[in-house]
A and B are shown apart, each in its own frame.
Chain A
């Protein structure tokens, strides 16, 4: 049995307010019965009003209503005659169940993990072949070392120096109360070499290099340069990723050493010039407080951070789809993800070294 049709008048002008009111009214009616949008008052001259009418019809159909039109004037007929019926099928965005959204995201996360694993595998394979026809592109690696390492020295030194000063000043306010100002040297030396040096360097290099890697590879993806490499039987990972990751592996420890020295110099400046601790006493205290393991721990971390920054940047770059906006998003995502990953890895290392020492 067919239910009696429900008549819904369409107002004369379908502006934003009346459009919302009409959608609300349609949603109130039970599904099953035909809904007739009575257009005898509707003045449909402009395209926006017609588009709003079509959107109401598409939404109504998606919700299960059999939506029809009645009393169309000539202008409305002309406007609708140009429209392909398929537009009603394309108009609505299907609503997804929250569980489906979670499931889709889990599948995407697993796929991303698989992509990173394959990228890491291909990079390691490239790094293990230093020479020969399929070997490392040393010219590219050297260029990357200059870009990633040499050009980052001023900013790494500057920031680390200031952080060393800040550490010393903050330590001084506490330690002075106990007459233990000389231990500022210990505080600065140990915290810089074990934590601040590698982490600060990683944050700076993520910002400079991680974003650059993602942007460079992403631009190459959208301009089909990566596809062109595939069709020339050239391995993009060997050309684009291996030189960068190698440069990061070699440059991160060197930058970290510079960061350490700059941080300790900042603490030294505060101790000697601000707190009158004496140059020899400060240096001697610094040397006594440090163990070789403090320095090597930081250097090991810095290598891992370098690998993380390189792989995250490259993965984000290769994942770019669309246009220039996607390249910008990839660069931002590379920085955020690599900083988070480095901090998580740092926490893991710190816990590991704490319990194993």
Chain B
């Protein structure tokens, strides 16, 4: 940049987005710096995955901007592709290409964007797989991997090009506690070795407490808490408290139909 200052790895400004007439996100703002791990929290359906889709330009927002390294990811197709080469996204269900082996999946972006020959790319892919504890799974097809192995392979593909920004969609959801813990350790290890900025979308409280420096919490598409982990834990919003205490929110809306429908003479 002309000022000499390094822009934040990710800036989300006043984001409004949805599917058709259904609004999902409303006024979301977020900044993530290098070397920082930010957890995006929220219950199922709160808009967490939609936020990720906007960040990687799979969904165009109706309002607001997403800046990655200071550049607008929704600016234009060529610029978007250039920006996305510096971003890794690990999908919730890994989204590995089922027609390729696990190693070929990880090698694909290396061949396409770094111009490596296939053998070299496969060598690097196996190194990435070893990094996530899948050193011997390179020749397996995605359908032969367990859920936890697929998630780790998805992370290996996401870090294939040493991205400046790593996005993780529910990295430890649905995994046994040991595998979930291993993934948390992997995320911390990635941060320790590089200055990667990491955004982890999750609703796993144990994982949040282990990995996150900061957190933002979404509910019904709005940000209801934001700050350091301690600040978010200390939020007075009943929905945040209910989330961390794992209890139902009493919003007073479920009084039933009797009062509304009963005819009173």
- A interface residue numbers (CB < 8 A to B): 5, 34, 36, 54, 57, 67-70, 72, 77, 80-85, 87-88, 133, 219-220, 223-225, 227-234
Contact = CB atoms under 8 A, between A and B. Distances in A.
Contacts of B91: 224, 227-228
Identify which of B80, B87, B255, B256 gathers the most chain A CB atoms within 10 Å of its CB: B256
B248 interface: no
A334 B127 CA distance: 41
Contacts, number: 86
Interface in B81-103: 81-82, 84-85, 87, 89, 91, 93, 95-98
B210 to A, nearest CB: 26
Contacts of A72: 258, 262
A188 to B, nearest CB: 42
18 contacts: A57-B261, A68-B261, A72-B262, A80-B256, A80-B257, A81-B257, A85-B260, A223-B95, A224-B91, A225-B97, A228-B91, A230-B56, A231-B58, A231-B89, A232-B109, A233-B80, A233-B109, A234-B108
B201 to A, nearest CB: 14
B263 A36 contact: yes
B220 to A, nearest CB: 14
A225 B180 CA distance: 24
A305 B183 CA distance: 50
Given A233-B82, A233-B85, A233-B113, A84 B253 contact: yes
B178 to A, nearest CB: 26
Interface residues of B, number: 33
Contact of A69 (B108, B255, B263): B263
Nearest to A67: B261
A80 B97 contact: no
Given A72-B258, A84-B253, A233-B113, A228 B95 contact: yes
Interface string B224-262: 000000000000000000000000000001111110111
Given A224-B91, A231-B58, A232-B113, 8 more contacts: A34-B263, A220-B98, A224-B95, A225-B95, A228-B96, A228-B97, A231-B84, A232-B108
Nearest to B169: A224
B117 interface: no
Nearest to A77: B258
Contacts of B253: 84
B190 interface: no
B112 interface: yes
Nearest to B109: A232
B82 A80 contact: no
